[in-house]
Amino acid sequence: MNSLLKVLGSLLLVPGGLFVLCIPFAAIDGNGGAVMGLVILGGLFGVPGGLLLRNGLLGQRRTATEEQMVGFVRSHDAFSITELGAHIGKPPAEAQAMLNRDIAKYQLPLVMHRPSGRYLRLDRLSRGGQIAERCQSCGGSLGSQIVFEGEQLTCPYCNARVQTHAPVQANWQQAQGAWGQQAWGQQQPQQQPQYAQQPHYAQQQQQQQQQQQQQQPHYAQQPHYAQQPQPHHAQQPHYAPPQHHHPHAQQPPHAQPGSFGGGHAGHAGHAGHAGHGQGGWGQQ
C-alpha cells in the first residue's frame, strides 16, 4: 500500500511541477490568464501528489520501525525500554508508548517485571509466574506485570496489594501484521508436513491404485478365455524315442498267399539249428 501511494504521488507531482515551471515564462510574456491557469493546474496536481507521497513515505518508515522492533523483541528473552529505543532510534518514552500499544492491540506475550525494569517473554520463561493487569482496590491499570514466587506487587496509585492470576495462553496466538508473521516460541502448534496438509492426497493415491488394477487383465471376468485354442506347441505329437534294431531278434515271416508250407519249413530250419547246438555241447 505504501508503494502504491508513493507511485501515485510521484505521477501527480510530475505534471504539477511542469506547470509550476511554466509560470515564469508566462509571466514574462505578460499573459496573466495563462499564469493564473498554470497556478491552478499546478495546485490541482501538486498538492494531492505531495500528500500521497508524504503518506507513503511515512507509512514505509513506520513499517520499517515496526519490523526493527519485532526483530529485536523476537531475538531477546528479556530487554529494557532503553535497549529497545536505542535499537529502533526512538526515545525511551516513545519506544515505551509504541510497545504498549502493540501489546494491547496484538495481545503479545510480553510482560513487565517491575523489580528489574525489564520486559520478559512469557513463552521463554524458565520459571512460572503470576500476571497482574489491574488493581482490585482502585481499578488502576497496571499494564501486564509479572510476579514470581516470593514477590509482591503493590499498586502505584493506592499502594494496595494487587492480586495476580495465571497467564492466559489463548491470547498469545492472536498477533497480526508484522508480529504474526512467525510463530511465538513453543506455544504455537508445530506445522504438519506438506503432504499431510493435502486432504485429497489419499484420494488421489486410491484412484491411482484403482486405475492400475483396471489396467491388469482379469482372467476370471473373461468367459471366452477357456474356449480359446491351445498354443501351437500343445498340439504337436509327442516325440517317440527311436527303436533300436536287433539282428538276432527277427520277426517270424508271414505266410504269403500261395505258399502255405513256407512257414513250417522255416520252423523246421530253426529246430535243426537248435538240435545241432545241443549235440555239440554233449560231445564236449
Q: What is the pLDDT of residues 22-35, one digit of tens each?
A: 888 888 887 788 88
Residue 256 domain-assigned? no
Residues 120 and 162 in one domain: yes
Residue 198 domain-assigned? no
Residues 125 and 70 in one domain: no
The number of angstroms, rounded, from the C-alpha of 26 to the middle of its chain's C-alpha atoms is 64
Q: 110 pairs with which residues across the strands?
A: 121
Cα Dmax for the chain: 176
Q: Of 49, 74, 99, at which residue does a domain stop? A: 74
Judged by average pLDDT, the poorest of 5-14, 88-97, 112-121 is 5-14
Q: What are phi and psi of 144, to 5 degrees?
A: -125, 100
Q: Could you give the number of structural domains in the chain?
A: 2
Rounded distance, CA 284 to CA 272, Å?
19
Residues 158 and 141 in one domain: yes
Domain that holds residue 149: 78-176
> What pTM does this model have?
0.50
Q: Which DSSP state fits 154?
A: B
Rounded distance, CA 73 to CA 79, Å?
8
pLDDT digits (tens, 9 = 90+) for 161-219: 888 888 765 444 444 556 665 555 544 444 444 444 444 545 666 777 777 777 655 44
Asked if residue 266 has pLDDT above 70, the reply is: no
**Cell reading at 47:** 498538492
Spatial CA neighbour of 79 closest among 103, 113, 107, 128: 113
Asked if residue 273 has pLDDT above 50, the reply is: no
Q: Please tell me the predicted confidence (pLDDT) of residue 56.
A: 87
